[in-house]
Chain A
Amino acid sequence: MRIPILKLHNYLLISIQIDLDDQSAIQFQEDLLNEIHKSGATGVVIDLTSVDIIDSFIAKVLGDVVTMSGLMGARVVLTGIQPAVAMTLIELGIHMHDVPTALDLEQGLIKLRQELEG
């Protein structure tokens, strides 16, 4: 299953609405990097409001996406992580220290704007 990537000015917006299997997660990683390259986007918001599980594999893919996008010059913010998902991630031992997050899509965009446009 392909995850749609929307473009808005210099930003890319993604809302993950499916239960991510490994293949879709990897596909998404590839699609997003290609889209950053093609569009020259400087900011990306990945909204996880509808995601009710993040296991160690998906966490690794998301963490990698943030790092890889950074290498290409785009800043990624993860938004909308559910309370239950935040708790299970910590219990799994995954802290995502270096990953920028925000409460929701709107806050994510504000965060990007502040960081990119200063």
Chain B
Amino acid sequence: MGSSGDNNDGLAFQSGGQSVVNCQSSGMGGNPFFASAWDPVVSISQHENFGGSSMLSQSELTNSPYPVVMENQGISTTSHLVHYQSGSSYVELVPKFPSYGSGSFSEMVSSFGLNECGQIANTGCHPNYTTNKEANIERTIANSAESQEDHQLTEEPITGASPDGKKRKRVGESNSSYDPNKNAEGERLKDPSGHSSDVQKEQDEKKPRTEQNSGANLRGKQSAKQAKNNSHSGEAPNENYIHVRARRGQATNSHSLAERVRREKISERMRLLQELVPGCNKITGKAVMLDEIINYVQSLQQQVEFLSMKLATVNPELSNDIEKILSKDILHPRGSNAALMGFVPGMNAHPYSHGIFPASIPVISNANPQFPSVPHTTLDNDLQSLFPNGI
């Protein structure tokens, strides 16, 4: 997997929705960057061409308390992209520096301080590259000079020092004040390569960059220039990677970052499961939740077994059963809960069902009373035992 094969001049994107979905985190805003309102942003690409280190950082807005990373622009420089797999953290991008660009940039960048952030985010990429390369090269050169500062500038709000509102506003203004000329270039199409999850962690961990927070020295000159370059939309084709920044007070080791991302992903899934399993609203903790999940799945499977046993004993008398049944409201069976209570006999001993269903349960009238209670077997065993009997 690895680098997306974007060989175009960098900036073909498809709409951000795709990349958002691929990020696999719930609750993402996922607006494309170019929306004037403040959006969660862009995806990052790992584009390697000379022309093409376009970047887009896409931050997912989630419940993260920290300000979302902003984006990139303008700098057509290249720097290393740091890739992390992220479920719900915000994203950043470290662009790659072009040759003419700046050795100095990296120094600048390294001196930047973001509070314990693991990587630096966003620099924009060159919208320039989309259109005429030749024409833009000069501009890029010019830009790169500024962009370096802009870079710092854009870094700065991300440090977490500035509150969210401030960051948003800046980006907003920069977007709004964006030179329409440049806007035109920045056609951000995002590449739909959406293998966001389970992307190379290894590769990510290979090139981490820890930047120290330089703090106040950057703040002064940046606000003016930020407007210009923030809106350089560096779009880069969406990449498999989601970039993560370390939060304040947390370890910046690349391994721990990746682990944190993973843990967040897992906890997000557990939350989803918690909503699915009835009666698990108050449970906190993975172990107990897992127990509940296992019990619930087992009980559902047992219910299927009981129902099939019941169907086996009942002889269908209706000839047009299919149409008739489908014409009834299958999707909303009446008194489903009461019906579920009918599965008692085998489930009496099951602690889980007692917790969920009310206690008193009528016996199934149709059930053959001599029929031994169906043992709880997994589907595999049943499949296995089925075929020796012949179909």
Chains A and B belong together in one complex: no
